[in-house]
Amino acid sequence: MAGRISESLQLPETTGLYSTAPSRPDGAPACSIPECPEAPLSKLLAVSAALPAAMRRPAWSLGDFRLHKKLYKGTHTSIYQATCLHSGLPVALKVYFLARMPDNIVHMLKREIEIHAQLVHKHVAQLYAAFLDSEQRVVLVQEYAARGDLLGLLQRLGGRMQPDQVGDLVVRPFLDALSYLHSKGICHRDIKPENILFTQNWRLLLADFGVSINLHQERAVTRAGTEGYMAPEVERCPLKADPQDNKDNRELAYSTAVDIWAVGVLAYELMVGFPPAFMSEGNATSDCDAPSAEASLASVKFPPHVSPAARSFILSALQPHAIERPTAAALLSHPWLPQAAVAQASRHLAGLDASRALAARHIDACVPPVRKALSSLVSSGLESNDQGAATREVFSVSAC
C-alpha cells in the first residue's frame, strides 16, 4: 500500500527562521528547534502506510516530540534524534528550513517526500509522515537507526570489513532494498556509506532520498550524487540551475544502472579500504569512450583476501556500459552472496565454539580446588547440619 500524499504538496517560500530553544525544565538537553507548548496550525504533507497506529493523529507539530540531540546539520536541513510523545517510539526528525532554500532545492524536497512516502520495505528507512508547521519548517518523521551509519561502522572496524561480512551484512540486504526501489522506477542516485544505516538489531536501512528520482515520471539528466560513486554516464551530465534544464535531451538520460555502479564501488571500498583506483585517480569516462573505460576497469586491482567470486561481483557492477551491468535482482543471484553467507555463518559458529571452549577451560580451572575443598570437609567429619554452610563458604571463596 502506497503512502498518501497531500494534494499538490505545496511548499511556500517564507522568511520565517528557527530560534534557540530554552532549556528544558526536566534537564534534558535543549535543541535548536523551539518547542510548541500549544500545537500550532500545520499542514500534513504526506503519511506512509508504515506509520505506527500509536503515532496516528490529525494534527502534527514539533511539540509532539522530545528532542534529544542533533545528529546532523547541513546548509538547508538538520536531523535530530527524538521520541514521539504520543507513542514513546524513537524517531529521527529531518527538518528543512524553507527560508534558506532556493527554488531548485524546494523542488527536490517535494520530490523527496513524494518518493519516500510511498516506500514500505524492511530495508528502507521508513518515512512515517511529513508536515509543514507554522514556522515554515518542513519536518520529515523517519524511522530511527540506533546503530548509526555504515561509515561509522567502517571506521570502528579499522577502515575495512571482511568480504563475507560485506556480502552478508551489507550487500545482500542492500540489494534487496535496491531491487524494490528499481521495480518502482526509483533511482536512488546517492549510494554511499553515510546513507546506509543500521537498527539496534543490525537490520540495514537505505536512507536519504534527497536526490532520488522516479524514472516513470521524469528523465534523469542531472549530475547528481557524490563524487567517487557516480557512474560514467552521470559524470558527463552538467549541473543544472533550473529543475527543467536538459529534460528534453535524451542523449543525457541515464537509468537505474547508475545505482549498480555505486554498489560496485561500495563493495570494493568496504573490502579493500579505499575506492577502486580508476575512481580515485579521476579517470572515469563517459559511456561513449568505451576503450578508455574498459582499460580503466582492467586496471582495478584486488588484494589476495578478496575471493574470485567477490571480484566477479564487483567487476560486473563496474561495467563501463550501463546496459552491460546486471540489475539489482540479478546481482542477488550472484554466486558470491551465498558463499559469503556460508562463510559468515561459519565465522559465527567458530566464535560460539571458541566461547564455549573458553568457558569450559574456565570451569575446569575452578572445579579441582572446589573438589579438593569438599573432600577435606568430608574427611574432617563435620556434622551434617554444618556441611551446607561450610560448602557455601568453600564455593564463595573458591569459585572463579
Active site residues: 190
Look up cell 556441611; give the residue: 387
Does 70 carry a binding-site annotation?
Answer: no
Does 194 carry a binding-site annotation?
Answer: yes
- For residue 326, give the 3-state DSSP assignment: coil
- The distance of Cα 34 from the centroid of its chain, to the nearest Å, equals 28
CB 306 within 8 A of CB 297: no
CB 269 within 8 A of CB 275: yes
Does 353 carry a binding-site annotation?
Answer: no
Does 247 carry a binding-site annotation?
Answer: no
**CB burial of residue 111 (10 Å; 0-12, 13-18, 19+):** buried
* Cβ-based neighbours of 342, under 8 Å, separated by 6 or more: none
Does 145 carry a binding-site annotation?
Answer: yes
Residue 58 dihedral angles phi and psi, to the nearest 5° = -75, -30
**CB burial of residue 155 (10 Å; 0-12, 13-18, 19+):** exposed
Does 231 carry a binding-site annotation?
Answer: no
Does 208 carry a binding-site annotation?
Answer: yes
**Helix (H) or strand (E) segment spanning residue 311:** helix 308-317
Residues of each annotated binding site: 94, 143-145, 194-195, 208
Residues of each annotated binding site for ATP: 94, 143-145, 194-195, 208
